[in-house]
Amino acid sequence: MKKWNDYMLKTKMFVTFSVVSLFIVILTCLIFYYKNVSDIKNQTVSLSDTITRQFSRTVELYIQDIEKLSVSIFGDPVLQRSLLDHYQSKNDVEQNEIELTINKRLFTHLQPRPQLQSIYLFALDNVVYYVSKANGPKVSFSLLDEFWYNNNESVMRNKFFLLPVTEEDTGGGRQEKVISFVRNINRIPYREIIAYMKININVKVIDNMLVHSDSNEVERNMRVFIVTEEGNIVYDNKNELTGRTNIDLDTSIFAGESRSGDMIWNGKQYLYTYEKSDYTKWNTMILIPNDFLLSKQKKSQYILILVGLLAMLLIAVVSYILSHHITLQLRYMMKKMNRVEQGDLNQRMEFKGNNEISRLSRIYNNMLDSISRLISEVYESKLAEKNAQLSALQAQINPHFLYNTLNIMKSISRIRGIEEVAEMSESLAELFQYSMNNLQHPVPLREELNHIGNYMNIQQHRFSDRFELSCDIPEALRKASVLKLTIQPLIENAINHGLGKMKTGGCITLSARRNGDNLVIEVTDNGKGMDEEKLLELQRSLHSPFRINELRDDMHGIGLQNIGQRIRLFYGEKSDLTIVSSPGRGTTVKLEFPYQTYEQEEKEAAVHEHIFSGR
């Protein structure tokens, strides 16, 4: 096992930086995790407490509104007079009129409030007047049948009281759970009790008071109860325990000072908050399962683990880059010295500054200067000799020399009356002049057509009437901008490879058209065509990476791959070269690239030159 001092400086720096940084990251993540867990619990308790107080207050306000309704019924002069008449009535006709009057007044108070189920007036002689939203038949009952009336002393002492949830028949065999609001009715202005009133409220109205929000995870997972001091469930938001008693809910917590804490119910751990209403004497309780808090903690834990891993990865990368950068100059110097040791005396080290490495590099460079100077002198002398030979060779094949020679041949041929040779010399001279320079710059399509005309003039003298060229190019498109020598090589390929073996009847068609924003040029021949295998091979070669030695081959002629690469380099991905061919039906080569007039091209080139030249 290696000792610590035996490791490379880069390795020791990387390990040291990584260990220290990772320790800080892990410690930070642990502190943040425990702080986040505590914050989640506190936030959940705070939100639950807010919902509890708001819900309790909403229920309290609603019961206050019912009390106001009871007061309006209590003080209704028609009802007061009708109740007094009830005790003085002597026959059934008068009693029916009183019942009709009382029920009509009760109905005006019941009907506008959809949350009310029924209203009862219990006379002291066991006669009951009531109106209900149920469609069932009228049921006979009396004050003595009401369980709450047995504690008459309590009824007398309280202004009103609320009964636990019971079920009321709404007709058709349906039962609705209701909360009963009970109070006595005194004779005005006297204080003697003349009747008792009971208002039944549908429990569903409480469910409408609870604000439901699917976007809040706490509200989706909480359990809401309204519990009396005796442990009766007035309301359960899951509608499972409403109206039930003895559900093993620890009501002793309502006597404590703390309004939140932890409790166990049905074998599960819950976080609870409650609010007691001094008005209704009901306790509003919200239970939040610990499983929900654990899931929130797990989410936080997963996020911290992910952040910790990313931080560790980032620290490792930064530590590596830092150690790499610090030792880069040393490794660079070692690399240079190794090359010098292998015989490469041209290696130099350029470190600016006045530190130890910079001084060492200058001493190293001075040691190699004299040897490098000798080698440089020998190399420059040989290079000058080689350039002189190359210049002499270029002078011999200078295109201007060939162009001038062809013009001389043309003049001599016409002086001696050999017009055919003069015409071929002139066409060949124009071919040389056209292709002499600026192949990378576009020209008007008409110039490329003139170049094709010179080429076809020479070929007509060579092949006589074996084939003909047909041009279908509108005059408006002849000003389009095209690259030099992109169409003529297609004509040449059509002659050499498509019509080469035809004795007569050969036809080449050159056409141009607009396709949206693109210019399409097609060269079609009626030659022998290609079979599928050769066509696929040609298409593969056109889409293969460009290589100089593939600009010409025996099968495909000159320039197909060159043309495809040139238009792609100049016009980008919007350009394409495609080939369609079949045996005995000829071949069609199609060029497609963005349409632009030559004048537009010249203006854009001038603007581009002006911007980049700074003029």
**In this structure, is residue 296 part of a structural domain?**
yes
Separation CA 298–CA 161 (nearest Å)? 47
Kindly give the interhelix angle for 560-571 and 532-542, rounded to the nearest 10 degrees.
Answer: 40
3-class DSSP state for residue 372?
helix
Separation CA 198–CA 232 (nearest Å)? 19
Q: What is the structure's pLDDT at 244?
A: 79
3-class DSSP state for residue 227?
strand
Say yes or no: 130 and 278 in one domain.
yes
Transcribe 117-176 into DSSP letters. Answer: EEEEEEETTS-EEEEES--SPP----GGG-GGGGSHHHHHH-S-EEEEEEEEEEETTEEE
**In this structure, is residue 29 part of a structural domain?**
no
Query: Which residue range forms the structural domain that includes residue 549?
Result: 441-610
Closest Cα to residue 542, out of 586, 513, 580, 597?
A: 580
Separation CA 438–CA 425 (nearest Å)? 23
Query: Residue 275 has which token pair?
Result: 């609010």
Say yes or no: 374 and 456 in one domain.
no
Say yes or no: 419 and 365 in one domain.
no
Whether 568 and 575 have beta carbons less than 8 Å apart is answered as yes
Segment-wise mean pLDDT, segments of 10 residues, the chain, 615 residues: 66 76 78 74 81 88 89 88 86 87 89 87 87 68 77 62 78 75 86 87 83 62 84 83 76 77 83 87 86 72 78 79 73 77 72 70 77 68 47 42 58 69 70 64 88 82 80 91 87 84 86 92 91 87 56 48 80 87 90 88 65 47
Closest Cα to residue 202, out of 64, 58, 57, 66?
A: 66
Say yes or no: 536 and 571 in one domain.
yes
CATH label of the domain that carries residue 583: 3.30.565.10
Say yes or no: 374 and 473 in one domain.
no
The pTM (predicted TM-score) of the whole model is: 0.47
Closest Cα to residue 436, out of 393, 485, 473?
A: 485
* Domain endpoint, select from 301, 331, 358: 301
**In this structure, is residue 125 part of a structural domain?**
yes
Whether 41 and 290 have beta carbons less than 8 Å apart is answered as no
Say yes or no: 380 and 286 in one domain.
no
Say yes or no: 51 and 194 in one domain.
yes
Say which DSSP state 597 is in.
B
Say yes or no: 415 and 465 in one domain.
no
Q: What is the structure's pLDDT at 580?
A: 92
Order of strands, sheet of 268-276, starting from the edge strand that comes earlier in the sequence = 233-236, 223-227, 283-289, 268-276, 260-265
Say yes or no: 537 and 589 in one domain.
yes
Closest Cα to residue 491, out of 592, 564, 594, 589?
A: 589
Say yes or no: 450 and 385 in one domain.
no
* Domain endpoint, select from 437, 462, 496: 437
Q: Report the largest interatomic distance among the alpha carbons of the chain, rounded to a whole angstrom.
A: 157
Q: What is the structure's pLDDT at 435?
A: 63
Residues in the chain: 615
Q: What is the structure's pLDDT at 431?
A: 67
Separation CA 568–CA 348 (nearest Å)? 41
Q: What is the structure's pLDDT at 503?
A: 79
Say which DSSP state 497 is in.
I
3-class DSSP state for residue 495?
helix
Separation CA 593–CA 517 (nearest Å)? 9
Q: What is the structure's pLDDT at 409?
A: 67
Separation CA 283–CA 360 (nearest Å)? 86
- Count the Cβ atoms, other than its own, within 10 Å of residue 278: 6
Whether 339 and 347 have beta carbons less than 8 Å apart is answered as yes
Say yes or no: 432 and 445 in one domain.
no
**In this structure, is residue 9 part of a structural domain?**
no
Say yes or no: 126 and 274 in one domain.
yes
| Residue located via tokens 């460009």 | 546
Q: What is the structure's pLDDT at 328?
A: 74
SS3 content of the chain, % helix, strand, coil (to 5): 55, 20, 25
